[in-house]
Amino acid sequence: MNYGFPFYRVSYTYDVLRKGNSYLGLGLSLQLRNADIYFESLDGTKFVDNKNFGPVPIIKLKGAYWLNEKTYLATDIDGFYASSKFFNGADFDFEGSVLDASLKAGLLKTDYLETYFNVRFIGGTAKGTSENSDSPDGFTDNRLATINFSIGFQLK
């Protein structure tokens, strides 16, 4: 089994609210994803392969709130949901979603050193029937959910 889903993303945000060091920005992202999914039976007699490259337009929210001069909370959220063949340019309907949400708590140690704790969720779904699929009926129903906890530092 392989569930490869590498992607590249570019984003633009516009600050809609700014107060002191705190801000809230809204914007758009464009994600280029390259799905490479295959399943093979343990005895090797059955094999299903699905490869697909495409753009994904995403809504973006980014913000930070400073609790005091040294401590802040920040978020960076990209999300998308669609259920129409219009979005993928194919001749079949589908349903898909992407959510990449991060929540960071940071502490400014000096003017140039910051430490942080970050929780990040990356997930998505894809459901539909394609005539271009290697599966017997063309139906796919994929769900992915991951969570990452990290502790780090940043030099400014």
Strand ranges, E, within 5-112:
7-19, 22-40, 47-66, 71-82, 94-108
Could you tell me which of 12, 56, 17 has the C-alpha nearest to residue 34? 56
Residue at 24: amino acid letter: L
pTM comes to: 0.79
Q: Is the domain covering 9-28+62-155 a CATH 3.90.1150.210 domain?
A: yes
The answer to whether the beta carbons of residues 58 and 72 sit under 8 Å apart is no
Quote the CA–CA distance of 62 and 102 in Å, as a whole number.
9
Q: Is 52 exposed, middle or buried (0-12, 13-18, 19+ CB in 10 A)?
A: middle
Ramachandran assignment for 39, one of left (phi > 0), alpha (psi -120 to 50 degrees), beta (any other): beta
pLDDT in tens, 23-34: 999 999 998 888
What is the token pair recorded at 103? 């929540």
Q: Name the residue ranges covered by the structural domains of the chain.
A: 9-28+62-155
Q: What is the mean pLDDT of each run of 10 residues along the chain (156 residues)?
A: 80 95 95 79 79 84 96 96 67 82 97 96 84 65 91 93
